[in-house]
């Protein structure tokens, strides 16, 4: 339709960057000059305008018909273009706008739909149609300048929620205060919401933090025993290895963090499911089958001309050994003793002969032992070599690794470095085969220090958990609890000691406590981490120090001591928090 005769004020656009930070860019309108848009509409064909008009009438039946004579003069009131929001077009004098017709006809189920099209200068959405759109009130022919409408951030009513630092879940219920509904905010305890979940029960069962003064070590030992009973499947190898770590923590706690090799060896043999039967072998003495046959009972002795009787008793074996020495036949006496397991006689006699003969007899003795026999491990270690068990353990065909470690711990040789290297090698072998708990047990026996998650070359970061897997699998709650018990056992022996790499996991554990509605315990963990950092230079770990301050500031009002303070002093912060914040500021200044 022709639009001549209507005075149309120019479109007032906002700044070009309007809405750049709006999170829903797909709903933004693209500014188009009003004058250009008018020229474009003037060039539109009558058929398109008529089709648009029929479309709206078909969609809204209440507006399908109008007063006679108005259909030819009414302008298309809504324009749909890609990238544009719905804009009201000017109306002839005396005719209500289409938006007003929508409102009066009852098509809009709520004022929310109309608020999509109407916006005042303050970007405030009025649920009632503004009076500026009512031409009848002004009595003039001029229309108010249409303004662009930015869509609502959320198209529907919904519940907004957030997590409070006091262990609460805060809900803002979907109400309409403009319609007289009172706004309502609900506070729910996370501890009550998560009651009965496995994660919360695991956190509540642990008697942490373990550095508190009112803790008795029997509580820690009881917790370890419960983990052995309920958390370890003794029918699997990994379950037995995990049980062994918990038993080691019980031993350390009972003995105030100190132990000797024989204590650990006893623990290893208690956890060993069965005593393997190691099958012996014939000694390798370097004789051919014919030579062995010539020395079998019942064979004619070419020197004495006698047929030796069939030997059956130990006394007859010794008598034969002595008779050979009567004739000065030392080599044959050694062979006879080795053949009939008289290793004491053979070793003593060879030790009085030349060193080569002694080495020969000693090799024959060790060759009678099975390859996986713990005695073989001991003799190899005493000979100054890394035992073969340290390189082959963990294999199903090799047998249990515990007896081999027990014999190395209980019989340390003079070379301390060799002992440590053999135990570390056994740990590396077990770790390469996936036995992480068993490997960490060996590392503890060799006094290997704990490292960091990012340093993959380190052998341990958390006790019983491999730091070569994903962090979510690595930093499990059970692994952090087990590591804290080990640190506690160290503090029983040296009260001022702590594991510095472990402090970051304490902070992680504190955040989990806060997430599960236990803010008071979380604040205690922050205090203990702060104490450990203040003993060292907090500037050496600035990121950890800032994160502790950040979490403690949100949890400081959960301190039970605030209930005992006077009201005028409740705004004060704990001394440890002020000290750590001051250290962080000093580091930032430097």
How many other CB atoms are there within 10 angstroms of residue 416's CB atom? 9
Strand partners, 172: 160, 185
Cα gap 404→389, rounded to integer Å: 7
The pLDDT of residue 142 is 47
Buried b / exposed e over 454-465, threshold 16 CB at 10 Å, is eeeeebbbbbbb
Instruction: Map residue 356 onto helix, strand or coil.
Output: helix
Strand partners, 161: 171
Cα gap 488→217, rounded to integer Å: 9
For the chain, the 3-state helix, strand and coil shares in percent, each to the nearest 5, are: 50, 5, 45
The pLDDT of residue 539 is 77
515 Ramachandran zone, left/alpha/beta (phi>0; psi -120 to 50): alpha
Cα gap 449→77, rounded to integer Å: 78
Instruction: Map residue 23 onto helix, strand or coil.
Output: coil
What number of residues does the chain have? 590
Cα gap 189→171, rounded to integer Å: 11
Contacts of 20 (CB under 8 A, 6+ apart): none
Instruction: Map residue 452 onto helix, strand or coil.
Output: coil
Instruction: Map residue 562 onto helix, strand or coil.
Output: helix
Greatest alpha-carbon span in the chain: 151
Any long-range contacts for 444-449 (C-beta under 8 Å, 24+ apart)?
444/248, 445/264, 445/405, 445/409, 446/420, 447/420, 448/424
Cα gap 96→138, rounded to integer Å: 12
How many other CB atoms are there within 10 angstroms of residue 525's CB atom? 27
Cα gap 56→408, rounded to integer Å: 91
Q: Where are the domains of the chain?
A: 159-173+183-205+498-589
Output Rg (C-alpha) for the chain, integer angstroms.
Answer: 44
Cα gap 167→165, rounded to integer Å: 5
Instruction: Map residue 88 onto helix, strand or coil.
Output: strand
Instruction: Map residue 462 onto helix, strand or coil.
Output: strand
Alpha helices in 91-184 (DSSP H): 98-105, 111-115, 135-138
Alpha helices in 170-258 (DSSP H): 190-193, 198-205, 217-231, 237-254
The pLDDT of residue 17 is 42
And the tokens for 356?
A: 């080569």
Contact 373, 398 (CB under 8 A): no
**Which runs of E-coded beta strand occur in 164-243?**
168-172, 185-189
Contact 307, 320 (CB under 8 A): no
Helix pair angle (542-555, 503-515), 10° resolution: 30
The pLDDT of residue 69 is 43
Half-sphere exposure of 427 (CA within 13 A, CB side): 22
The DSSP output letter for 262 is H
Cα gap 424→444, rounded to integer Å: 9
Contact 427, 442 (CB under 8 A): yes
Cα gap 222→230, rounded to integer Å: 12
pLDDT tens by residue, the chain, 590 residues: 444 544 444 444 444 444 444 443 444 444 444 444 444 444 444 444 444 444 444 444 444 444 444 443 333 333 333 333 333 444 444 555 544 554 454 444 344 443 443 444 444 444 444 444 444 444 444 455 555 577 777 888 889 898 876 788 999 988 877 788 888 899 999 999 999 999 999 999 999 899 888 899 999 999 999 999 998 988 898 999 999 999 999 999 999 998 888 889 899 988 675 555 555 555 555 544 454 444 455 565 655 566 665 656 888 888 989 999 999 999 999 999 998 889 999 999 999 899 999 889 988 888 888 888 899 999 999 988 999 999 999 887 788 899 999 999 998 887 889 999 999 999 999 999 999 999 999 999 999 999 999 998 999 999 999 999 999 999 999 999 999 999 999 999 998 888 989 999 999 999 999 999 999 999 999 999 999 999 887 778 889 999 999 999 999 888 877 767 776 665 678 889 999 999 989 888 88
Strand order in the sheet with 160-163: 160-163, 168-172, 185-189
Query: Could you give phi then psi for residue 480, rounded to 5 degrees?
Result: -65, -40
Cα gap 478→484, rounded to integer Å: 10
Measured at the alpha carbon of residue 387, what is the angle toward residues 386 and 393, in degrees to the nearest 5?
120
């Amino acid at each position: 339709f022709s639009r001549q005769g209507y005075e149309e004020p120019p479109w007032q656009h906002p700044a070009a960057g309007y809405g750049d930070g709006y999170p829903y860019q797909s709903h933004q309108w693209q500014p188009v000059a009003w004058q250009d848009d008018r020229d474009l509409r003037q060039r539109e064909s009558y058929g398109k305008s008529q089709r648009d008009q029929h479309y709206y009438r078909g969609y809204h039946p209440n507006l399908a018909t109008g007063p006679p004579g108005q259909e030819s003069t009414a302008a298309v009131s809504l324009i749909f273009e890609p990238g544009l929001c719905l804009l009201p077009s000017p109306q002839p004098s005396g005719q209500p706008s289409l938006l007003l017709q929508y409102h009066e006809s009852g098509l809009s189920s709520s004022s929310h739909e109309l608020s999509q099209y109407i916006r005042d200068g303050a970007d405030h959405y009025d649920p009632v149609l503004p009076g500026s759109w009512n031409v009848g009130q002004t009595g003039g022919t001029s229309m108010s300048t249409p303004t662009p409408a930015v869509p609502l951030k959320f198209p529907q009513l919904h519940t907004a929620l957030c997590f409070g630092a006091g262990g609460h879940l805060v809900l803002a219920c979907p109400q309409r205060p403009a319609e007289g509904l009172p706004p309502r905010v609900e506070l729910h305890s996370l501890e009550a919401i998560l009651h009965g979940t496995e994660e919360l029960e695991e956190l509540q069962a642990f008697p942490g933090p373990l550095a508190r003064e009112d803790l008795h070590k029997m509580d820690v030992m009881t917790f370890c025993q419960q983990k052995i009973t309920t958390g370890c499947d003794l029918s699997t190898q990994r379950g037995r290895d995990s049980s062994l770590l918990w038993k080691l923590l019980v031993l350390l706690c009972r003995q105030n963090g100190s132990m000797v090799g024989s204590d650990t060896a006893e623990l290893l043999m208690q956890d060993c499911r069965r005593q393997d039967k190691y099958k012996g072998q014939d000694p390798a003495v370097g004789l051919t089958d014919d030579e062995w046959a010539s020395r079998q009972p019942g064979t004619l002795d070419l020197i004495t001309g006698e047929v030796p009787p069939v030997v059956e008793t130990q006394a007859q074996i010794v008598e034969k050994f002595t008779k050979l020495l009567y004739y000065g036949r030392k080599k044959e006496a050694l062979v006879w003793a080795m053949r009939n397991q008289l290793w004491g006689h053979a070793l003593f006699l060879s030790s009085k002969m030349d060193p080569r003969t002694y080495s020969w007899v000693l090799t024959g003795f060790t060759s009678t032992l099975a390859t996986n026999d713990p005695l073989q491990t001991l003799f190899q270690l005493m000979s100054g070599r890394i035992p073969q068990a340290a390189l082959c353990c963990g294999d199903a065909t090799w047998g249990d690794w515990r007896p081999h470690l027990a014999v190395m711990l209980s019989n340390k040789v003079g070379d301390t470095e060799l002992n440590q290297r053999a135990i570390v090698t056994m740990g590396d072998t077990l770790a390469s085969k996936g036995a992480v708990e068993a490997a960490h047990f060996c590392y503890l026996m060799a006094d290997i220090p704990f490292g960091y998650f990012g340093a993959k070359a380190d052998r341990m970061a958390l006790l019983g958990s491999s730091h070569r897997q994903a962090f979510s699998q690595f930093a499990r709650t059970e692994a952090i609890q087990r590591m804290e018990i080990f640190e506690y056992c160290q503090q029983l022996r040296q009260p001022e000691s702590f594991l510095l790499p472990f402090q970051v996991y304490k902070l992680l554990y504190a955040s989990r406590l806060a997430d599960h509605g236990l803010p008071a315990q979380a604040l205690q963990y922050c205090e203990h981490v702060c104490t450990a950092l203040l003993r060292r230079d907090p500037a050496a770990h600035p990121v950890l120090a800032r994160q502790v301050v950040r979490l403690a500031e949100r949890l400081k009002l959960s301190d039970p001591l605030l209930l005992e303070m006077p009201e005028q002093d409740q705004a004060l912060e704990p001394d440890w928090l002020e000290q750590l914040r001051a250290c962080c500021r000093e580091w930032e200044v430097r």
